[in-house]
Amino acid sequence: MSEISCVELFSGAGGLAKGIELSGTRHKAFVEWNKDACKTLSYNYKKQIVYNTDVRLIDFKQFGPVDIVSGGPPCQPFSLGGKHKGNTDKRDMFPYVCKAVSVCTPKTFIVENVKGILRKSFSTYFEYIVLRLTYPNVESRKSEDWTEHLRRLEKIHTSKRYNGLKYKVVFRLVDAADYGVPQRRERVFIIGVREDLGVEWVFPEKTHSLEALLWSQFVSGDYWDHHNIEPPKIESLDRRVQKRVLQMQKQLTLFPPPLSPWRTVRDTIGRLPFPDSKGSFNEEHILRKGARTYPGHTGSYVDSPSKTLKAGDHGVPGGENMIRYRDGRVRYYTTFEAKRIQTFPDDYKIFGSWTESMRQIGNAVPVKLGHRIVSSLIQAIR
């Protein structure tokens, strides 16, 4: 069976890349402009396939035909926490994803972005992205803006006269926690499969659920037994969670929910030694002081999945990327812990200062989520 090859754009720390690699794929190239991220990629993969350059300067012909084009274009133009400029933002790199697909003609492509790209104000541009990826060879003309290009693509899409390169494109908003990642992280995946392959594919089924976690914590009690700790009082829980727990207890059956429990912060990093300022356990497991809570930013409760790890424009956002214990104490995640939350292997090294390392990790696709989706895709295209 021939080896599956991949070219990845906007690789960052390589979370999606690692998930793809674990699916049995060989990377031909990583394209990434950030120098620290390129050091991370060069250490964990092969230095000679890391292109530390602006994607707008890359000649994709040099990579030849590939099976997969992947990547997460900068999310800031569409992020709920950004300036919401969308297609008018100079950081909008979707056109270069389309260019890579057009040149490399992969069997499939995987594009990841933030939930904000689905908001109503971006709906027309999102339609444009999907059609642009569906017909990657239909490039915009010098005389037309994206809205004019969109109208031309719509005409092609509703006609039966197009015989060029075409992809079947689907997209879905997924929560990483539903696939065994110890983090509530909602991201949009846009998947395309080349039409001439005649492949049928659907997003993989969820494997984990909140209902199963609450059952293990407040019905069977298995969660607390496993960690050898006393359960908290139901009164200490969020009101919405209290309501769900009481409902489950009233409708008690012998059969637990069918999926596995969401994984929590404690499940993932609870057995690690408490970090110190010297990094005695691991050089990436260093205690950083200054964590504090404020309205809307109270940290991630230790017995729930982590809140979304954030990158921020200037490193670690204040009040976020923190663990919150049952007694109310908070502290920042260490780089080592953040890697685990994003399901990176423990020996995967992240280069750069603490704020830069956390930025890379916060921008990454959880390895386990990438692996789950890509494994399913590879099985289909093979």
Query: Residue 323: helix, strand or coil by DSSP?
Result: strand
- pLDDT single digits (tens) 180-214: 999 999 999 999 999 999 999 999 999 999 999 99
Nearest to 191 by CA among 111, 298, 276: 111
pLDDT of residue 319: 59
The model's pTM is: 0.92
Amino acid at the residue 189? F
Angstrom CA distances, 305 to 10, 70, 197, 275, 298, stand at: 27, 27, 39, 20, 14
Residue (of 43, 58, 49) closest to 27 by Cα position: 49
Residue at 329 is within a domain: no
The answer to whether residue 81 is domain-embedded is yes
pLDDT at 271 over 90: yes
- Is 93 within a domain? yes
Mean pLDDT for the stretch of residues 94-109:
95
Tell me, yes or no, whether 337 lies in a domain. no
Of 195, 225, 258, which marks where a domain is finished?
258
* Average pLDDT score, the chain: 91
* Percent of the chain predicted with pLDDT > 70: 93
Q: Is residue 340 part of a domain?
A: no
Reduce the DSSP state of residue 168 to 3 states and report it: strand
130 and 227 housed in the same domain: no
Position 83 scores a pLDDT of 43
Give 21-54 pLDDT, tens digit per residue: 999 999 999 999 999 999 999 999 999 999 999 9
44 and 161, same domain (yes or no)? yes
Same-domain check for residues 201 and 225: no
pLDDT in tens, 330-342: 999 999 999 999 9
152 & 230 share domain: no
Confidence of residue 88 (pLDDT cuts 50, 70, 90): very low
Pair 34, 170 in one domain: yes
User: Which one of 258, 293, 318 terminates a domain?
Assistant: 258
* Residues 189 and 212 grouped into a single domain: no
Same domain, 102 and 141: yes
Taking only the tens place, the pLDDT of each residue in 151-164 is 999 999 999 889 99
Are 116 and 249 part of one and the same domain?
no
Residues 146 and 228 in one domain: no
Last residue of a domain, one of 258, 274, 297: 258
Give 56-70 pLDDT, tens digit per residue.
999 999 999 999 999
More confident residue, 334 or 319: 334
Are residues 140 and 180 located together in one domain of the fold? yes
Same domain? 98 vs 227:
no
Q: Tokens for 363, please give them.
A: 């921008």
For residue 90, tell me if it sits in a domain: yes
Residue 86 pLDDT greater than 80, yes or no:
no
Instruction: Give the pLDDT mean for 351-373.
Output: 95
Pair (246, 171) in one structural domain: no
Q: Mean pLDDT over residues 343-364, rounded?
A: 95
pLDDT reading at 77 higher than 50: no
Residue 10, judged by CB atoms within 10 A of its CB (0-12, 13-18, 19+), counts as buried
Residue 79's pLDDT is 44
Range of the domain at 219: 208-258
How do residues 218-250 score in pLDDT, each as one tens digit? 999 999 999 999 999 888 888 888 888 888 888
- Do strands 50-52 and 25-32 pair parallel, antiparallel, or not at all (unpaired)? parallel
For residue 195, is it within any domain?
A: yes
pLDDT score, position 312: 62
pLDDT confidence of residue 76: 52
Structural domains counted in the chain: 2
